[in-house]
Amino acid sequence: MARQISAEQRTGARYLASLVVRVEWDTEQGKHMVAEGKTENVGPQGALIHLQRELPDVGSRVQLMVLNEEGQKLQVVTEVLRLERNAGHPLAALQLLDATEEWRGLVWEPAAPRVTPPTKEEDEDDEEAEEETTH
């Protein structure tokens, strides 16, 4: 039996992020679609988004707008790589076709988990504990 092996195509870490988005696309019948949703996660070259109703077709071009409290944060052109047609939670995986540097700076990098540096007190406690174990 032949085994099919697929290589991982991601070029960087994906971060869990729930960002409000709006997507627009045209169907094969020429109908203009507009939908709002949220990102499930974001990567350096795309996002996995949850839409409430309609999903664009695989291979179609989609305008993706990331929104914030003031309105539009960033607009990019994407292509639909794959769909998950779960009735309760439909998802579309989108890959950027333009504005990758802006995406990285405004969306992907800010979504990275933040590690809080230890406080001065915690540092001193750690040093004291280390000294006690080495003597």
Question: Per residue in 67-123, pLDDT tens?
Answer: 988 888 899 999 999 999 888 899 999 999 998 899 999 999 999 988 777 777 665
Q: Structure tokens of 61?
A: 């071009």
pLDDT at 34: 96
Question: Per residue in 51-69, pLDDT tens?
Answer: 988 899 999 999 999 998 8
Question: Per residue in 17-34, pLDDT tens?
Answer: 999 999 999 998 999 999
Structural domains of the chain in order of their starting residue, each with its CATH number: 15-114 (2.40.10.220)
Average per-residue pLDDT for the chain: 85
pLDDT at 6: 40
Residues 27, 18: Cα–Cα separation, whole Å: 26
Question: With a threshold of 0.85, does the pTM exceed it?
Answer: no
pLDDT at 49: 97
pLDDT at 80: 97
